[in-house]
Amino acid sequence: MGLKKIFKSFFAFAYTKEESIMEQMTEDEYIEIFIKGRKKEDIENTYKKAWEAKNFEIEHYWKRANYFWAFQVASFAGYFTFISSKGYENNKPVLYFIVCIGLITCLAWTFINSGSKTWQRHWEIHVDMLENEITGPLYKIVTSPKTYSVSKINEIVSRFIVTIWFILGIKYFQDNLTFKFTTWENINIQVLFSSLSVLYFISAMTLGYGRGRFGERKVKFYKRKFKTE
């Protein structure tokens, strides 16, 4: 791989102009595809698959939440343990590395929460569209006009923790004055590269590889060689 191709891949990972290629459907088109002219058992199978997929997304939403909570607990424990340790004065950049880990994993948690919620809504809408033919409007009829959203509150908490990590990062710079642009000697290279890495991977999550785009997929198939003896 040439140097030009490496640089191109490096920047494409963090930023791409590629957009989703989607066509909006009408309600009539949806009914034509999934309901009209189909046997009831076929509609019921589709409905069951939508329910199963919805429940799968809900289950894994909370599994992912627990996974990232573990990262946050470990990061905060590492932060407060290190800042109160004897080694802090001689290795202050390590504290900044912990902040970077906490910030990136919490941002990832926030974006994954949003992505999981999108897929959950996706399957909920399929259930709403199909249930009239199977159970009647069971899922659409609710007993309370207003409540608290468990998943949205989880998103709020994750965004709050992102804010805390951001503040701790600012505090690090205020306490240590790492960046003084009068001379190169005053710049801590480790902290500088950590900051650039954080910006690069945040860009990758928000503008590049991390964004789900529904483009046209070009797929290739290959056959494995197989023989009997």
Q: How far is CA 195 from CA 12, 96, 136, 184, in A?
A: 19, 9, 55, 16
Model confidence pLDDT, tens digit, residues 137-174: 999 999 988 899 989 999 999 999 999 999 999 999 88
Band (pLDDT 50/70/90 cuts) for residue 14 is: confident
Output Rg (C-alpha) for the chain, integer angstroms. Answer: 25
The pLDDT value recorded for residue 130 is 95
> pLDDT tens digit string along 50-81?
999 999 999 999 999 999 999 999 999 999 99
pLDDT digits (tens, 9 = 90+) for 100-137: 999 999 999 999 999 999 999 999 999 999 999 999 99
Q: Measured in Å, how far apart are the chain's first and last C-alpha atoms?
A: 39
pTM of the model as a whole: 0.83
Residue 183 has a pLDDT of 58
Amino acid code (one letter) for 206: T
pLDDT at position 193 is 92
Domain boundaries, the chain: 25-206
Mean pLDDT estimate for the chain: 89
Q: Residue 206 pLDDT > 70, yes or no? A: yes
Give the integer Cα–Cα distance in Å for 97 and 109. 18
CA 96, CA 33: separation in Å to the nearest integer? Answer: 54
